Structure 1
Amino acid sequence: MASVFAFFDSGGHLEFREGTADRVFGALDPRQASPVAFTVQRCSWGGDGLEGHISNTARFVGTYPPNPVATGVVTALGGPQEYIFGNLVICGSRWSPTEDEPPSRCGLSQAQQDLIGDVHIAVRREAADARW
């Protein structure tokens, strides 16, 4: 089943892509390194969360260019304050009623897409203002 994911390219441009997780995560890294997941917003008590994915090699500064827009979006959404290099995919995560089961990955809801889109606009505007 196709889901919607937020894809940020290394230049910080946002595109909402529809597809399976494997297909969308395949766009993370032209070298096809496996993605590394991290929590952006934790899901709990039946609520949905957000999960970020970067290339496994994206943490190496020399491999991919820094992505200040993606870094700013993740920080503004309450995610870890680590610098992101290269491409970023954000997907949804759904709370599991049992402690034994980790949250499940899912597509983004319309509300999550709107939130990510609004934050992206604000971060890009702030970055443009900082250059002047």
Structure 2
Amino acid sequence: MRPGIAMPNTYALIRCDGQLRFHDNVSDPAKPVAGPGPGTTITFTIQPAGWGGHGLHGQTTPIPAAGDTSRPNPIASSVVAALGGPDHRIHGNLVIGGDRVDPGFRHPVTCSLTEAQEHLIHDVHRAVLRDADPLRG
């Protein structure tokens, strides 16, 4: 992957209503995949990428200020915590994307989710839903 080259990008989206969807699109991996413009999202590490391995990052809206109407996303918060990410409340939709360390880069670069990561996110999401509502399981 070279910066500035558009490539297929698979990411997960957990909406405020708890629904999980995987999306495939073509985007510039250097740009955030959530939010309409600069400064509208925060990005955080869920699982760090290591040499030879892939990691996960999340993108969401900042914690709302007083009077903000963005909805809490408790399912996304629980999924992030179950994946080993930071334990904080997510507001708004959550995008989960992939990271990897490439030779020549000092920091992880954004990449598409691997098939294994998609399965992991799906399984963790399903378990979180089951724990949140025992009647769903």
Instruction: State if a TM-score over 0.5 links the two structures.
Output: yes
Give the Cα separation in 2 of the matches to 1:19 and 1:72.
Answer: 26
Q: Quick one: percent identity of the two aligned structures?
A: 40
> Which residue of structure 2 lines up, in the alignment, with residue 38 of structure 1?
44
- The letter for the 2-side match of 1:51 is H
> Which residue of structure 2 lines up, in the alignment, with residue 65 of structure 1?
71
- The letter for the 2-side match of 1:38 is F
Unaligned stretches of 5+ residues in structure 2: 1-6
After superposing the two structures, state which structure 1 stretch, 100-109 or 86-95, moved more: 100-109
1:10, distance to aligned residue in structure 2 (A): 1.3
> Which residue of structure 2 lines up, in the alignment, with residue 105 of structure 1?
110
- The letter for the 1-side match of 2:64 is F
SS state at 2:90 partner: coil
CA RMSD of aligned residues (A): 2.2
After superposing the two structures, state which structure 1 stretch, 61-70 or 120-129, moved more: 61-70
More helix by share: 1
Unaligned stretches of 5+ residues in structure 1: none
1:12, distance to aligned residue in structure 2 (A): 1.5
1:36, distance to aligned residue in structure 2 (A): 1.2
Q: How many residues align?
A: 124
1:90, distance to aligned residue in structure 2 (A): 0.4
Q: Structure 1, residues 65-124: CA drift from partner, whole Å, max 9, x if none? A: 1101000000000000010001000000001345x6210000100000000000000000
